[in-house]
Amino acid sequence: MSLALPAGGQPIKWAVTSTRPSAKTTRPRRRQTARLQPAPGEDFWVFGYGSLMWHPGFPHLEVRPGRLHGYHRHFCVYSHVYRGTRRRPGLVLGLDQGGSCGGLAYRVPAAEAAETMDYLYEREMVTAVYLPKWVRIGTAEGPVRAATFVVDTDHEQYAGQLPPERIVDLILQGKGRSGPCLDYLENTVRHLHALGLRDRPLERLQRLVAARSSVTDT
């Protein structure tokens, strides 16, 4: 999905219709955290910072560019399912502590709340490497309270601060249920550009990956 904002950066309003393997962790497979519960009968928001920006997969009424403070987008999660395998892991994004992160806030209709939450938990919590959390997202129209998934730094799939060379290795080798890890990186950067958002660490990473690929191809 390619997004373009109208002049002035006003929110995009869409009427949208709906369109596991296990992993051993250092905790129980499903960490015992309270399930996020939207307020009954009210629309709620979901914040996307990676693949949810181009493939949300749930019905929504409105999309706003927004910024989360206190967390930053970082390739810090070993992927054993969607972009890699346990034997040949890839690396995907997580919300890690510190800094800030630009992304998209989706307004989900109240009638779709339960189904959307089920879908998000099924999608994001395959190996329980993320922690569901309500966060405050700043938007041009004012702040919203949104559901998102931050990385569990105690989980075995949390990669932490890897050297750039190792991140490149994992991105180039990773391929899983949703395709190559390289596609994931390129899609993220492309959609951030479409929104007028810059993520310079990701752009530098993309250049490093491209340079490595050109050397490999020669």
Q: How far apart are CA 200 and CA 74, in angstroms?
A: 11
- Collapse the DSSP code of 70 into the 3-class scheme (helix H, G, I; strand E, B; otherwise coil) and give the result: strand
107's tokens: 């307004």
Q: How far apart are CA 14 and CA 61, in angstroms?
A: 5
Active site amino acids: 124
**Chain centroid, CA 161 distance in Å:** 18
Question: Across 22-119, where does the E strand assignment appear?
Answer: 44-48, 62-79, 90-108
DSSP label at residue 158: B
Asked if 83 and 176 touch (Cβ cutoff 8 Å), the reply is: yes
* CA-based nearest residue to 61, from 13, 104, 17: 13
